[in-house]
């Protein structure tokens, strides 16, 4: 049995008939073909699959695709606008916030939510809010620095 | 056109690979989708140890969308996964006390499953969902057997046998050092300390789970395997020559973007062999991606040693002797490099940075019903460092000496060239006191001890821990490792192709899965050729384009792989000089390469730019007699020795009395990795290494239930990965003692943090608890429960 689902991803409308058990992350990766969103675990710990759903950072492995009918989703591929990197993406580059790059899309999407909640976050706030995203390469040091850098840039622009 | 550039060696150049990763355009194996692709799902043993009575695949085969189901019995003509390190007396391998037993490790086991997750069948289907559903329908009649998982129980009398040909579950026995001299040292000692030191089993947990895509092309008889590998050529060689018996030149292995490895992606695994074999049969590409649950059950684990160590000291704190007896758990099967890890990567590092009088180490490798154990970041060296650094602290405590003072008293004096240790290896260069002095000054040690005294009076449990570590990297001189049992040479290749326009493509046999080769290697090339970095492209991870390669592990990429590139660049410049000399009507010996141009020595007006020489090499109309056209050079660099990075780390912890919770307040690292190409990248690797080392000390551990043999920590919910809010910012600094071993002076930086951090943290916790009478903690991780228990039992005693 397949069900129809229609959603907007990075400004583009997508309609498919999918199995009800299909996870949103697999829909994004396999059905739509946006492979920047990653799968690093099967218990919703790692956060590599984090995307923005109607502006909220959500682990896309925790939802079925069919639940997303009518949703507006942003993935890592949709964050840069007209070829300009988002300040968070720029921050990860400037501050060496990534090594293997696998957790990075999820980290950046989680950081997006953090900076909406706390435009000038403390180090503790950043670290606490990043609890749902695992990285094995950086020891988090430069990820925190990257988010701090982005916060300063975004404050400067306002 | 080539123009002079500023020197990039030593500069924190932003990573050139990052734009694709931060925009979601990295290409990892699981991102690959080929026309006609099929999907694999493995059927695995739910038991730690069980005989397979029968396997019924009929229902699975009938499942809609299923293309094929294979069991071990279908894989005729396929051999065991190889173990690439032999420890046998007949091979004259030093230190062998009892020959290594090498039981078969079949890609799909058909008689007995020997650990939870051991694969017994594979289902291939049109969709991942169909494959996974059908795998549930494979019916295996199991006869569960008793199982053993605990390292110290493996050799106990009456324990179940994991392999019939390994009596007492002993895989090998090995020893190194001078037993008689060590015994004598203990007889003259004023003080001896003996401790049991357990280095628990860890899981690498690279964020990207392992994956492979295998495609067989009937038209060309070629197999292409995309695989999450740290060393694609090694994968190809092992799979072709040892397991499948297929021609190597008809197999292309590609390791595209790989999401971390930490050792776990060095090895040849069952799944990639099965998919490669099956792709020929189903005549369609097959993709397999590990779930995290499968990763915990099947990625090679790390560490798992139980050690009894004894240290002999004089009354004034000189270390006279070290005696070490270790049991190393190898798991159910021998993984690719497993026997090397607890022997030549462990015993040889027990000299530490100290002038120890005598050393003797005995190692027994054992089989258990657990996932295979092999190299995990540091591989043997963290275990050695942990033993040495814990024992040094225990010695200091026994003598009531300051641990930093005891270390200073015993350091090998500053040297460059050669220091012969008691455990075979010869150190390359060192200034161990220099690193500790810098650490103590950055850390402000005296001030801390004053603060600690005040804190203790207020009842707070505050502690400092040191680790003055050494490691062996730049792996490795082929002759040396060959004599020690390695089945491979450990050189590296570097090919430099200068295009007619002066653009440069470099092919390296080393592989980046987070290390940043596309940046650091390009820095080397831009410097040597004095051209803008934008003109340089680094290619790695494809046996179809890279001549050969031994890959990335043992902190070898820059020191071994970088030197191979450096050698090729020298050859390019030599050939360029000949071409330029001809055009300039000068002798090649009078031509120098300055500011991106070949010029007559001291005469910048008589010069030809790099790009013009490159063009001439490909359009050789006016060209030296007898010189081949083209500008492309390949080099293989085989190091003459290992390199030995070292350093001094310190950390401060505070323990909450009521809960036993350990909080890491401060972490300071002074590392000496020789010359540094890109400080930002080296600091990043040190950060990540520290987090893993702290992880082992405080939270991580693979736990098996000893009765059922089940892996208790089988998901990320159960295995405690370090998170952002559990760690502080790290303070990193460096001393620079270049190695004389390679022309770049680079030692290696990939593993230092992991090696140093674990003992630093445990030493700090012991220091914090020392007012309660704690002078040692046998087992890690130092979870709140374990520390709470120590506080309460000791307090009651005290």
pTM higher than the cut 0.90: yes
Looking at residue A116, what DSSP letter applies?
Answer: H
pLDDT digits (tens, 9 = 90+) for B313-350: 999 999 999 999 999 999 999 999 999 999 999 999 99
Contacts of B332 (CB under 8 A, 6+ apart): B114, B115, B118, B162, B367, B368, B369, B370, B371, B372
Minimum distance, in Å, between the CA of residue A100 and any CA atom of chain B: 4
CB contact under 8 A, A76 and B24: yes
pLDDT digits (tens, 9 = 90+) for B484-513: 999 889 999 999 999 999 999 999 999 999
Q: What is the C-alpha to C-alpha distance for residues A89 and A51, in angstroms, rounded to an integer? A: 14
End-to-end alpha carbon distance in chain A: 49
Q: CA B745 → CA A27, B5, B559, distances in Å?
A: 49, 22, 8
Q: What is the C-alpha to C-alpha distance for residues B154 and B158, in angstroms, rounded to an integer? A: 10
B 741-760 residues inside an 8 A Cβ radius of A? 753
What CATH code would you report for B18-25+491-637? 3.30.365.10
Contacts of B48 (CB under 8 A, 6+ apart): B114, B115, B116, B147, B149, B369, B370, B704, B708, B709, B710
Q: CA A63 → CA A2, A22, A39, A88, distances in Å?
A: 16, 9, 13, 25
Interface test with B, best of A26, A45, A139 (most B CBs within 10 A): A139
Q: What is the C-alpha to C-alpha distance for residues B144 and B794, in angstroms, rounded to an integer? A: 42
Which chain B residue lies closest to A146 (C-alpha atoms)?
B22
Residues of B with CB below 8 A from A75's CB?
24
- Which residue from B293, B683, B688 is facing A137, i.e. has the nearest CB? B688
CB contact under 8 A, A93 and B205: no
Which H/E stretch holds residue B197? strand B191-203
pLDDT for res A157: 72
Closest by CA to B13, choosing from B750, B498, B534, B508, is B534
Q: What percent of chain B has pLDDT over 90?
A: 97
DSSP 3-state of B455 = helix
Contacts of B702 (CB under 8 A, 6+ apart): B200, B201, B202, B203, B296, B301, B371, B711, B713, B719
Closest by CA to B692, choosing from B394, B469, B376, is B376
Q: Output the tens digit of pLDDT for each of chain A's 158 residues.
A: 899 999 999 999 999 999 999 999 999 999 999 999 999 999 999 999 999 999 999 999 999 999 999 999 999 999 999 989 999 999 999 999 999 999 999 999 999 999 999 999 999 999 999 999 999 999 999 999 999 999 999 998 75
Give me the architecture of the B32-145+208-259+265-298 domain, per CATH. Answer: Alpha-Beta Complex (3.90)
B 274-293 residues inside an 8 A Cβ radius of A? 289, 291-293
- Which residue from B27, B260, B292 is facing A43, i.e. has the nearest CB? B292
Q: Is A3 on the interface with B (CB under 8 A)?
A: no
- Which residue from A96, A103, A127 is facing B684, i.e. has the nearest CB? A96
CB contact under 8 A, A79 and B730: no
Closest by CA to B281, choosing from B485, B71, B138, is B71
Q: Where in chain B is the domain with CATH 3.30.365.10?
A: 18-25+491-637, 378-383+399-472+642-797
DSSP 3-state of B663 = strand
Residue B2: pLDDT above 50? no
Residues of A with CB below 8 A from B291's CB?
42
Confidence category of residue B6, pLDDT binned at 50, 70, 90: confident
Question: A-B interface: how many C-beta pairs under 8 angstroms?
Answer: 182
pLDDT for res B794: 74
How open is the CA angle B360-B347-B757, to the nearest 5 degrees?
120
Confidence category of residue B798, pLDDT binned at 50, 70, 90: very low
CB contact under 8 A, B18 and A98: yes
Q: Where in chain B is the domain with CATH 3.90.1170.50?
A: 32-145+208-259+265-298
pLDDT digits (tens, 9 = 90+) for B71-85: 999 999 999 999 999
DSSP structure string for B3-27: ------TT--PPPTTHHHHHTT---
DSSP 3-state of B109 = coil
CB contact under 8 A, B21 and A37: no
Which chain B residue lies closest to A83 (C-alpha atoms)?
B23
Residue B1: pLDDT above 50? no
CB contact under 8 A, B22 and A48: no
Closest by CA to B518, choosing from B551, B489, B541, is B541
Q: What is the C-alpha to C-alpha distance for residues B576 and B2, in angstroms, rounded to an integer? A: 14
Give me the domains of chain A, ranges plus CATH numbers. 3-78 (3.10.20.30), 87-157 (1.10.150.120)
CB contact under 8 A, A100 and B724: no
Interface test with B, best of A35, A90, A101, A128 (most B CBs within 10 A): A101
Domain B378-383+399-472+642-797 - what CATH class?
Answer: alpha beta
Average pLDDT in the B172-181 region? 98
Confidence category of residue B376, pLDDT binned at 50, 70, 90: very high
Which H/E stretch holds residue B324? strand B319-331
Pairing of strands B301-313, B191-203: antiparallel
Which chain A residue lies closest to B208 (C-alpha atoms)?
A40
pLDDT digits (tens, 9 = 90+) for B387-398: 999 999 999 999
Q: What is the C-alpha to C-alpha distance for residues B118 and B106, in angstroms, rounded to an integer? A: 10
pLDDT for res B793: 87
A 11-30 residues inside an 8 A Cβ radius of B? 19, 21, 29-30
- Which residue from A29, A102, A143 is facing B260, i.e. has the nearest CB? A102
A 51-110 residues inside an 8 A Cβ radius of B? 75-77, 79-80, 85, 89, 92-94, 96, 98-105, 108
Residues of A with CB below 8 A from B683's CB?
96
CB contact under 8 A, B725 and A143: no
CB contact under 8 A, B259 and A100: yes
CB contact under 8 A, B725 and A94: no
B 167-226 residues inside an 8 A Cβ radius of A? 204-209
CB contact under 8 A, A45 and B716: yes
Which chain B residue lies closest to A132 (C-alpha atoms)?
B723
CB contact under 8 A, A130 and B685: no
Q: What is the C-alpha to C-alpha distance for residues B579 and B289, in angstroms, rounded to an integer? A: 51
User: Within its chain, how far is the Cα of B94 from the centroid?
Assistant: 23
Which chain B residue lies closest to A31 (C-alpha atoms)?
B33
Q: What is the C-alpha to C-alpha distance for residues B88 and B105, in angstroms, rounded to an integer? A: 19
ipTM of the complex: 0.98
Looking at residue A7, what DSSP letter applies?
Answer: E
Pairing of strands A56-59, A12-18: unpaired
Looking at residue B97, what DSSP letter applies?
Answer: E
Minimum distance, in Å, between the CA of residue A45 and any CA atom of chain B: 6
pLDDT digits (tens, 9 = 90+) for B618-672: 999 999 999 999 999 999 999 999 999 999 999 999 999 999 999 999 999 999 9
Minimum distance, in Å, between the CA of residue B728 and any CA atom of chain A: 8
pLDDT digits (tens, 9 = 90+) for B232-274: 999 999 999 999 999 999 999 999 999 999 999 999 999 999 9
- Which residue from B14, B680, B690 is facing A139, i.e. has the nearest CB? B690
Minimum distance, in Å, between the CA of residue B30 and any CA atom of chain A: 9
End-to-end alpha carbon distance in chain B: 77
Contacts 24+ apart (CB under 8 A), A114-121: A114/A147, A115/A88, A115/A147, A115/A150, A115/A151, A115/A154, A116/A55, A119/A151, A119/A154, A119/A155, A120/A151, A120/A155, A121/A147, A121/A148, A121/A151
Minimum distance, in Å, between the CA of residue B685 and any CA atom of chain A: 7
Q: Are B262 and B300 in contact (CB under 8 A)?
A: no
Count CB atoms within 10 A of the CB of residue B409.
18
CB contact under 8 A, A45 and B727: no
Mean pLDDT, chain B, whole residue set:
96
Dihedral over Cα of B471, B514, B226, B499: its sign = negative
């Amino acid at each position: 049995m397949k069900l129809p689902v229609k959603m907007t991803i990075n400004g583009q409308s997508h309609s498919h008939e999918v199995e009800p058990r299909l996870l949103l992350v697999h829909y994004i990766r396999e059905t739509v073909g946006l492979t920047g969103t990653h799968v690093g675990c099967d218990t919703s710990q790692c956060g590599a699959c984090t995307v923005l759903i109607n502006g909220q950072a959500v682990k896309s492995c925790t939802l079925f695709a069919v639940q997303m009918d009518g949703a507006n989703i942003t993935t890592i591929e949709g964050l840069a606008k007209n070829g300009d990197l988002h300040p968070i993406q720029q921050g990860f580059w400037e501050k060496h916030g990534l090594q293997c790059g696998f957790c990075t899309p999820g980290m950046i999407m989680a950081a997006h939510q953090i900076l909406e909640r706390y435009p000038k976050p403390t180090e503790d706030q950043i670290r606490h809010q990043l609890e749902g995203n695992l990285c094995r390469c950086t020891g988090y040091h430069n990820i925190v620095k990257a988010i701090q850098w982005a916060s300063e840039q975004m404050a400067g622009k306002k | 056109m080539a123009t002079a550039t500023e020197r990039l060696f030593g500069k924190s150049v932003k990573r050139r690979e990052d734009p694709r990763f931060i925009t979601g355009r990295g290409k990892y194996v699981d991102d690959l989708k080929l026309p006609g692709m099929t999907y694999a799902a493995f059927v695995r043993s739910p038991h730690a140890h069980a005989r397979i009575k029968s396997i019924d695949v009929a229902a699975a085969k009938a499942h809609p969308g299923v293309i094929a189901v294979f069991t071990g019995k279908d894989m005729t003509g396929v051999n065991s996964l190889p173990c690439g390190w032999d420890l046998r007396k007949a091979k004259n391998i030093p230190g062998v006390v009892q020959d290594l037993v090498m039981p078969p490790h079949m890609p799909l086991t058909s008689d007995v499953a020997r650990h939870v997750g051991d694969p017994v069948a594979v289902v291939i289907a049109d969709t991942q969902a169909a494959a996974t559903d059908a795998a549930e329908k494979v019916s295996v009649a199991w006869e569960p057997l008793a199982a053993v998982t605990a390292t110290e129980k493996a050799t106990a009398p009456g324990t179940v046998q994991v392999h019939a040909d390994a009596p007492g579950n002993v895989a090998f026995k090995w020893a190194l050092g001078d037993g008689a001299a060590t015994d004598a040292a203990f007889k003259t000692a004023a003080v001896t300390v003996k401790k049991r030191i357990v280095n628990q089993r860890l899981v690498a947990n690279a964020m990207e789970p392992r994956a492979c895509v295998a495609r067989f092309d009937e038209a060309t008889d070629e197999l292409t395997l995309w695989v999450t590998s740290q060393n694609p050529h090694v994968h190809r060689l092992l799979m072709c020559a040892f397991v499948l018996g297929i021609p190597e030149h008809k197999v292309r292995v590609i390791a595209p973007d790989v999401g971390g490895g930490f050792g776990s992606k060095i090895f040849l695994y069952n799944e990639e062999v099965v998919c490669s074999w099956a792709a020929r049969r189903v005549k369609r590409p097959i993709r397999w991606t590990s779930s995290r649950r499968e990763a915990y059950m099947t990625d090679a684990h790390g560490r798992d040693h139980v050690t009894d160590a004894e240290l002999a000291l004089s009354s004034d704190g000189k270390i006279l002797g070290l005696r070490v007896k270790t049991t190393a758990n190898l798991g159910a099967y021998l993984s690719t490099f497993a026997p090397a890890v607890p022997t030549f990567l462990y015993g040889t590092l027990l000299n530490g940075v100290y002038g120890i009088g005598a050393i003797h180490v005995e190692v027994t490798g054992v089989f258990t019903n657990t996932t295979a154990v092999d190299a995990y970041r540091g591989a043997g060296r963290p275990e050695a460092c942990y033993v040495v650094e814990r024992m040094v602290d225990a010695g200091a405590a026994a003598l009531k000496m300051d641990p930093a003072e005891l270390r200073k008293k015993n350091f090998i004096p500053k040297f460059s060239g050669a220091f012969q240790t008691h455990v075979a290896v010869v150190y390359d260069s060192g200034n161990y006191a220099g690193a500790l002095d810098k650490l103590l000054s950055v850390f402000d040690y005296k001030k801390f001890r004053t603060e600690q005294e005040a804190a203790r009076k207020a009842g707070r449990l505050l502690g400092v821990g040191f680790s003055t570590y050494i490691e062996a990297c730049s792996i490795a001189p082929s002759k040396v490792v060959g004599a020690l049992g390695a089945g491979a040479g450990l050189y590296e290749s570097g090919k430099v192709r200068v295009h007619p326009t002066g653009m440069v493509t470099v092919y390296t046999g080393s592989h980046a899965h987070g290390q940043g080769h596309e940046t650091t290697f390009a820095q080397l090339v831009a410097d040597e050729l004095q051209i803008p970095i934008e003109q340089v492209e680094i290619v790695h991870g494809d046996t179809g384009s890279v001549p050969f390669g031994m890959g990335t592990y043992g902190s070898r990429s820059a020191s071994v792989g970088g030197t191979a590139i450096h050698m090729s660049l020298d050859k390019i410049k030599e050939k360029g000089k000949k071409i330029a000399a001809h055009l300039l009507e000068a002798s090649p010996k009078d031509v120098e390469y300055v500011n991106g141009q070949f010029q007559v020595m001291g005469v910048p007006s008589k010069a030809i730019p790099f790009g013009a020489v490159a063009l001439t090499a490909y359009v050789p109309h006016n060209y030296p007699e007898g010189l081949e056209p083209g500008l492309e050079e390949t080099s293989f660099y085989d190091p003459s020795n290992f390199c030995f990075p070292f350093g001094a780390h310190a950390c401060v912890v505070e323990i909450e009395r009521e809960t036993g919770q350990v909080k890491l307040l401060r972490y300071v690292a002074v590392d000496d990795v020789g010359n540094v190409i890109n400080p930002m990248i080296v600091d990043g690797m040190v950060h990540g290494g520290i987090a893993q080392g702290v992880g082992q000390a405080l939270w991580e551990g693979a736990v098996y239930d000893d009765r059922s043999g089940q892996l208790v920590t089988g998901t990320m919910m159960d295995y405690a990965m370090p998170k952002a809010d559990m760690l502080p910012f790290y303070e990193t600094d460096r001393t620079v003692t270049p190695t004389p071993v390679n022309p770049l002076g680079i030692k290696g930086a990939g593993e230092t943090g992991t090696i140093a951090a674990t003992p630093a943290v445990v030493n700090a916790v012991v220091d914090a608890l020392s007012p309660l009478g704690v002078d040692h903690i046998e087992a890690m991780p130092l979870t709140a429960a374990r520390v709470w228990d120590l506080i309460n039992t000791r307090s009651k005693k005290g």
